[in-house]
């Protein structure tokens, strides 16, 4: 019997189950990334808030690491989430994890900003569609990606410092061979050699670490 007949409220098991299910469906924290993005496409602000809760930290971390400035990192983080708010429909879950798409976009945007600040010309395209070519981890979970980032940080400490520095300047600084040479005063040939050796070693160690995990 439903007590709603008398009290406007039903305590039966089915009522509780129904309401509980309804409440759970309204709870954004349990949504998958694609479900969350479809709500952002529908311009649900609560979904954008949830997206920020999930990925605000990683996005801000990449922006800050590239820019080395909290103010600019905040601006870039805001730009990224507004870009998602306006162009969420361009994310294709078949082509990459949401977090990787966001972080790749963040890296490009932050590097663009860095170049504008330093009045350097842009070297690469940063259209959203191009980013998919750089995302190759659709099978990874967010937690795995985070752990992989930690692993890589550990592996990079095993490289000679001069190689690590150049990898970071290239990747997070958005500098080319010749720009690194100009910036650091290191001969161009040496820059190329150090970067190549560093990346080759890092790749070997990273693949070996991944094999060990399996």
Partner 1 sequence: MSEQNTQQQLNSPNQTLCEEALALLPAYGLGATDADETRLVERALQACPQVAAELVEYQALAAALLHSAPSSQSPAALGDRILRAAAASSAATVVMPKPTVVTSKPAQPAAARRRTTPWGWLAAAAAVALLVTNGYWFTQVQDLRTQQDQLSQRLTARNNVIERAAEGELTRIELTSVDSSTSDGLPAAIVLVSPDGTVGAVYTRQLPVLPPDQSYQLWFLDGATGTPVSACVFQVRENGNGQSWLIDVAVPLDLSQIGAMGITIEPAGGSPQPTSDPIAAVEV
Number of H helices and E strands in the chain, helices first, is: 11, 0
- Give the C-alpha separation, 30 to 47, whole Å: 11
Q: How far is the CB of 10 from partner 1 (least distance, A)?
A: 10
Q: Interaction with partner 1 in 75-134: which residues (CB under 8 A)?
A: 77-78, 81-82, 85-86, 100, 103-104, 107, 123-124, 133-134
- The reply to whether 19 sits near partner 1 by the rule CB under 8 A is yes
- Give the C-alpha separation, 112 to 124, whole Å: 9
- Give the C-alpha separation, 37 to 50, whole Å: 10
**With contact defined as beta carbons under 8 Å apart, do 136 and 94 qualify?**
no
Block residue for tokens 């496409």 = 41
Among residues 2, 12, 22, 183, the one that binds partner 1 under rule CB under 8 A: 22
Q: Interaction with partner 1 in 23-82: which residues (CB under 8 A)?
A: 23-24, 26-27, 43, 45-46, 48-49, 52-53, 56-62, 64-66, 70, 73-74, 77-78, 81-82
Q: How far is the CB of 117 from partner 1 (least distance, A)?
A: 18
Tokens of 161: 């410092």
- Give the C-alpha separation, 210 to 204, whole Å: 10
- The reply to whether 165 sits near partner 1 by the rule CB under 8 A is no
Query: CB-wise, 37 or 103, nearer to partner 1?
Result: 103
Region at 81 (left for phi over 0; alpha for psi -120 to 50; beta for the rest): alpha
Among residues 38, 172, 186, 190, the one that binds partner 1 under rule CB under 8 A: 172
- Give the C-alpha separation, 81 to 54, whole Å: 12
Total Cβ atoms within 10 A of residue 194: 20
Q: How many residues bind partner 1 (CB under 8 A)?
A: 78
Q: How far is the CB of 147 from partner 1 (least distance, A)?
A: 9
Q: How far is the CB of 19 from partner 1 (least distance, A)?
A: 5
**With contact defined as beta carbons under 8 Å apart, do 208 and 154 qualify?**
no
- The reply to whether 208 sits near partner 1 by the rule CB under 8 A is no
Q: Interaction with partner 1 in 135-154: which residues (CB under 8 A)?
A: 135-137, 145-146, 148-150, 152-153
What binding mask, one character per residue, do residues 182-201 give for partner 1 by CB under 8 A, x or -? ----------x--xx-xxx-
């Amino acid at each position: 019997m439903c007590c709603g007949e008398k009290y406007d409220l039903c305590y039966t098991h089915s009522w509780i189950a129904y309401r509980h299910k309804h409440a759970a469906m309204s709870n954004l924290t349990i949504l998958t990334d694609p479900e969350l993005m479809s709500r952002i496409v529908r311009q649900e602000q609560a979904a954008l808030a949830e997206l920020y809760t999930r990925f605000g930290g990683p996005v801000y971390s990449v922006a800050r690491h590239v820019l080395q400035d909290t103010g600019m990192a905040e601006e870039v983080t805001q730009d990224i989430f507004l870009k998602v708010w306006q162009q969420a429909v361009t994310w294709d879950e078949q082509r990459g994890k949401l977090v990787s798409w966001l972080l790749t976009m963040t890296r490009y945007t932050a590097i663009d900003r860095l170049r504008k600040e330093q009045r350097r010309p842009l070297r690469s395209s940063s259209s959203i569609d191009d980013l998919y070519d750089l995302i190759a981890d659709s099978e990874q979970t967010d937690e795995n990606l985070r752990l992989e980032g930690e692993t890589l940080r550990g592996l990079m400490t095993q490289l000679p410092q001069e190689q690590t520095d150049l990898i970071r300047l290239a990747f997070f600084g958005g500098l080319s061979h010749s720009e690194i040479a100009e910036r650091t005063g290191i001969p161009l040939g040496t820059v190329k050699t150090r970067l190549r050796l560093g990346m080759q070693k890092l790749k070997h160690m990273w693949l070996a670490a991944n094999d060990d995990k399996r």
